[in-house]
Amino acid sequence: MGSKLRILLASLAFALVSKPVQAHGGGRDKLGCHHDRKAGGYHCHKGPLDGRLFKSKEDALEALGTSQESPPPPKQKILPGYYTMETDEKTKVRRVVDGDTLVLEDGRKVRLIGVDTPELHHPKKPVQYYAKEAKDFVEALVEGKAVNLALDPDNTYVKHKDKYGRLLAYVLLPDGDILNAKIIREGYGFAYTRFPYKLMDNFRALEKEARENKRGLWK
């Protein structure tokens, strides 16, 4: 091959590599893609679909395995070691009796499983230290608000009710936290250990943490 031909081929190759990419019409959406109004199709330049070309946005969403209309639910904000809780019932709290007892909109009483707060209305005991603070704390979180209830598979009580007929349950807050755990973690109650429940070890660890950090009633 002559030297002139080699130079010509090299120049052609350089021109092909260095040719600027023509700008597409349309700005990128939150997926990092856009509809090409000139050439057609749906082009992706950023994000998980970077560099891919689709016939339509629907094809891109299918490839991504998601849908803008049905985003994945947020993860629960719970501590490592908690099992995944399934919501058994969605309801609303009418009022708070004390730090560990609620009344639902249908009149049922819920005893928060795994937590014991200072006595506020005991017939044989005076109002205990931090009882009012515990009630106020819980009121601010759930009174008049919608919550989810979750039952404990390790609870041995018949129909998940205590001897007073109160439903033993976890209360899941809108942000994914568990009210029972939050009360203990912030120092408004103790881990209850007189009967088995799934999160006993977790709640005991939360009580220890609150005590060591002098939160709430541990001050």
Q: Which residues are part of the catalytic machinery? A: 111, 119, 166
Residues 6+ apart with CB under 8 A from 191: 114, 115, 116, 184, 200, 203, 204, 206, 207
Whole-number Å distance between alpha carbons of 152 and 96 = 21
Question: Could you tell me which of 11, 53, 21, 162 has the C-alpha nearest to residue 100?
Answer: 162
φ/ψ of 89, rounded to 5, equals -165, 140
Question: Could you tell me which of 115, 116, 114 has the C-alpha nearest to residue 198?
Answer: 114
Whole-number Å distance between alpha carbons of 157 and 152 = 10
Whole-number Å distance between alpha carbons of 205 and 89 = 27
